[in-house]
């Protein structure tokens, strides 16, 4: 890990963890993949390690990220999906040539060779969530400065925050202080 950059927020769901690399979109936004190397770090944590990333590829990744955010937000609000965002997600999905590989331990790994492949995996993950193919519910974080789209897989489907350790805690503290 490279020092001097904002920490990653690591969630269990690939696509919405990726959109979480920009947080506080409605407050003071924190960019967690400010450089190509930092994107490589993030991808490696999700089993999508690649060797190199250019500035242009980082731009593509961020464009995909914001498109997923826009489409997932619309889906959470049960609005129509934004056409431009859908196009970007589909383009990135089509560009990727990742292969799912079953290991002898019975786990899945991705065989990828480029940023395009990694972004294709993320785009496909977003598609499966937005299309409602996975067990869970898209929702928006209750923190007013965040409002990130997240995928709630809790049994009761009543999760309120994108991340318990950050947004959830901050809201609890704010309420506690307000009561004093």
Q: Which residue is associated with the tokens 């990130």?
A: 148
Which one, 26 or 111, has the nearer CB to Zn ion?
26
Closest distance to Zn ion from the beta carbon of 102 (Å): 35
x/- track of binding to Zn ion for residues 109-148 (CB under 5 A):
--------------------------------x-x--x-x
Instruction: Tell me the C-alpha distance between 65 and 89, whole Å.
Output: 9
Instruction: From 34-42, 70-78, 115-123, 155-163, give the range in contact with Zn ion by CB under 5 A.
Output: 155-163
Closest distance to Zn ion from the beta carbon of 140 (Å): 9
Which one, 112 or 141, has the nearer CB to Zn ion?
141
Instruction: Tell me the C-alpha distance between 177 and 148, whole Å.
Output: 24
| One of 64, 72, 122, 167 touching Zn ion (CB under 5 A) | 167
Which one, 127 or 162, has the nearer CB to Zn ion?
162
Q: Are 112 and 133 in contact (CB under 8 A)?
A: no
Check residue 76 for interaction with Zn ion (CB under 5 A).
Answer: no
Q: Concatenate the DSSP letters of all residues of 90-139 into one string.
A: HHHHHH---EEEE-TTS-EEEE--SHHHHHHHHHHHHHHHHTT-SSSEEE
With CA atoms as reference, report the closest residue to 123 among 131, 108, 150.
131
- Residues at the interface with Zn ion (CB under 5 A): 141, 143, 146, 148, 162, 167
């Amino acid at each position: 890990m490279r020092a001097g950059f904002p920490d990653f927020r690591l969630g269990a769901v690939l696509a919405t963890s990726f959109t979480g690399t920009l947080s506080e979109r409605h407050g003071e936004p924190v960019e967690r993949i400010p450089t190509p190397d930092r994107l490589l770090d993030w991808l490696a944590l999700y089993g999508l390690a690649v060797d190199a990333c250019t500035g242009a590829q980082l731009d593509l990744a961020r464009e995909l990220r914001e498109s997923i955010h826009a489409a997932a937000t619309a889906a959470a609000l049960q609005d129509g999906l934004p056409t431009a965002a859908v196009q970007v997600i589909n383009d990135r999905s089509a560009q990727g040539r990742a292969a799912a590989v079953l290991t002898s331990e019975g786990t899945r790994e991705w065989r990828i060779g480029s940023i395009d492949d990694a972004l294709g995996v993320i785009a496909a993950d977003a598609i499966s969530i937005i299309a409602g193919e996975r067990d869970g519910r898209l929702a928006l974080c209750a923190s007013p400065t965040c409002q990130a789209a997240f995928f709630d897989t809790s049994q009761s489907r009543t999760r309120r925050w994108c991340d318990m350790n950050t947004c959830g805690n901050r809201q609890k503290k704010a309420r506690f202080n307000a009561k004093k």
